[in-house]
Chain A
């Protein structure tokens, strides 16, 4: 594919990528999955800077790097002393870049990854900045949908749960706008998609519907994307209990759905999905989690110029 260059590039926001570029990443991920490359990253070092705990994401990046023969250094929250003493993020990045070939950063402040990318001359990958972006998660979601359904173009997806704060939902909706996907946003009114995301989708001519009724949307869906509803988002604990039960996804939902429906969840789940659903082929969330390795391998090897 001409014109697509990833070498040296930062992976900060899903907004930075065209539909064609996203498809390209997915094609490399498929190659990684089919033909593992145990020596591709030999002699390369990935630095992970996790200012906020996320064991799952950190292990996934580390495993992706090590399975390609690369090495990792870094820290996780609690081990950092200098930043507590007031060192700026800029200075921390400047130090780390001298030790490594690529930086993976997770931070609770929004925009921290973008700032790091400005400071660093080596590629920076955003592994989550507050409620803003987590682009490799979105690439994993896209990869899973493409692999499970066979395409991204024109699919119908329902997003269920906390759509107000759910960054995975926001990013995936923006990413799927490149592929003429139709969208249903299913949530209690208090947790609706933010207006500015809906404006953006409207501008991109995406067809979408908002509803608080899962069953109404269900029969149209190819994908049901479930997210965590966090208790701390509710002022009233009783409201939380109510929503939690109304939006619980179990085997019964399959009755009103297409036979081919897949259910995704960025994990970990906290009760939004009944474990009884796990044994059905429609439950794709564990396969989705496993896809994290080839997708992150693709991203790492692309920005380091190890694959073209």
Chain B
């Protein structure tokens, strides 16, 4: 998996001269788009987020109120997950809780910690055992959707993610998991 990512990224980081002959091949379109994302000096890059979940990550990280640079690219082709998105967040490291929450909407995501334009640390997200609060139960008759209480789920399967609601005991599949 790591080699794939490297292949993926190297050309993007490298020189632009190659770029203009690229558009004929769909896969090179990725390079084209990736290069448009500003590199960040210090911060976090979240890669391999399913395109449909990019704005969930924006919400999880509360990026609307982030003051430093945030660049987001989405609908990039990815061999691994179809259409993907990348988020680059300057001046910010993620908490364990945030990484846990991202793992549920984007189980394949990678988190790169950037220091001085270099990847200082790279890790894959890992789906935790327990989740609270940020997700809503997909069962409309669940008490958590009708009373002012925090949700709570246990993760019963990781690939694909399946979550069991602590209250109504309904199992949600990955596609049903939504933010509150």
Contacts and interface: CB of A to CB of B under 8 A. Distances in A.
B64 interface: no
Interface string B129-158: 000000001010111101111000000000
Nearest to B171: A196
Given A89-B143, A130-B141, A110 B149 contact: no
B171 A115 contact: no
Given A109-B142, A111-B142, A88 B169 contact: no
A142 interface: no
A244 to B, nearest CB: 26
Given A89-B143, A108-B141, A114 B166 contact: yes
B168 A88 contact: no
A90 interface: yes
Contacts of A112: 143
A178 B96 CA distance: 36
A89 B147 CA distance: 8
A133 interface: yes
A110 B168 contact: yes
Given A130-B168, A133-B169, A110 B139 contact: yes
Given A90-B149, A115-B149, A110 B143 contact: yes
A131 B162 CA distance: 20
A130 B140 CA distance: 11
Contacts of A114: 143, 166-167
A242 B168 CA distance: 32
Contact of B170 (A89, A90, A110): A110
The prevalent SS among residues of B at the interface is loop
Given A109-B143, A110-B141, A110-B142, A115 B169 contact: no
Contacts of A88: 147-148
Contacts of A15: 169
A110 B167 contact: yes
A149 to B, nearest CB: 28
B169 A132 contact: yes
B146 A109 contact: yes
Contact of A132 (B146, B148, B162, B168): B168
Contacts of B162: 196
Contacts of A107: 143
A107 B146 CA distance: 13
B148 A111 contact: no
Contacts of A89: 143, 147
Interface of A: 13, 15, 88-90, 107-112, 114-115, 129-133, 196, 199
Given A110-B169, A111-B169, A196-B171, 13 more contacts: A13-B169, A107-B143, A108-B141, A109-B143, A110-B167, A110-B170, A111-B166, A111-B167, A111-B168, A114-B143, A129-B143, A196-B162, A199-B171
Lowest 9 CB-CB distances: which A-B pairs, in order?
A: A111-B167, A110-B168, A111-B143, A196-B171, A111-B168, A109-B143, A112-B143, A114-B167, A110-B141
